[in-house]
Amino acid sequence: MRLIVVVIALLASFPLFSQSKKELIAEIDALKAQIAELKKPKEADTSDVHKKASYGLGVIVASNLKMQGGDSIDIETLNIAMRDTYLGKPLIMDKEKSSVVVQEYMEKAMERRAAKVQEESKVFLESNKTKEGVQSTASGLQYKVLSSGSGKAPAATDRVTVNYTGKLVDGTVFDSSASRNEPATFVVNQVIPGWTEALQLMHEGDKWLLFIPSSLAYGEQGAGGQIPPHATLIFEVELLKVN
């Protein structure tokens, strides 16, 4: 009899418990929505010269970090460290310790980036050489003729005038005389080996796509911050004149 009374009591309380659970779930959902709203990135305020300079400094710092391979930096922690340092608050790591940690991190980050670029370049060139119209030379240079001219071919010591656009294999443009509307003039054997070889195969009026492996470009050093180590380069080159 006592067991029956307990069961009845539990059954009687169940609707109330169920209702409370629903309310709790609703409150949790509301809190999640509020948290998500707080986590949304705020639009930068650049309404005065100080805020504009602050935003500009952030652009420069972040661009340099990404260029050097620090693409896995925790932004929130970075902001806290900048705030604490700027406001003179106690630091978890002093400047000397921070320098050691950052140097080690950036070295490893650059190594990872170089390895990734090297592998991407290898895969790209292997795939690219099988595409229609792409020709390869013994050095590893690949090229595709876009249009043909009828002028003369330069020798290694000739000066030439060209229009070009240079890209990485991911499509990033790192230089373009065409976009500046300023053709470049130089001696054929005073540029990267891939260009020197390709230009001597071209004639005035030719427009080619060049696919230059890093061994014929900037190798393991890269160049100018924009071209990482071991990068394959893609150039659209138009030979305007042999001087």
Let me know if 73 is a catalytic residue: no
Let me know if 17 is a catalytic residue: no
Sign of CA dihedral 161, 167, 172, 174: negative
- Pick the catalytic residue: 73, 105, 186, 192? 192
Let me know if 192 is a catalytic residue: yes
Q: How far is residue 243's CA from residue 222's CA, in Å, rounded to a whole number? A: 30
- Pick the catalytic residue: 124, 164, 212, 234? 164
- Pick the catalytic residue: 124, 143, 211, 235? 235
Q: How far is residue 171's CA from residue 210's CA, in Å, rounded to a whole number? A: 14
- Pick the catalytic residue: 143, 206, 218, 227? 218
Let me know if 86 is a catalytic residue: no
3-state secondary structure of 135: strand
Query: Do 198 and 238 touch, CB atoms closer than 8 A?
Result: no
Let me know if 71 is a catalytic residue: no
Let me know if 105 is a catalytic residue: no
Token digits of residue 149: 């001219």
- Pick the catalytic residue: 175, 211, 212, 234? 175
- Pick the catalytic residue: 174, 211, 227, 234? 174
Beta strands in the chain (DSSP E): 134-136, 142-147, 159-168, 173-176, 184-187, 207-212, 233-242
Q: How far is residue 221's CA from residue 143's CA, in Å, rounded to a whole number? A: 24
Catalytic residue numbers, as ranges: 164, 174-175, 192, 218, 235
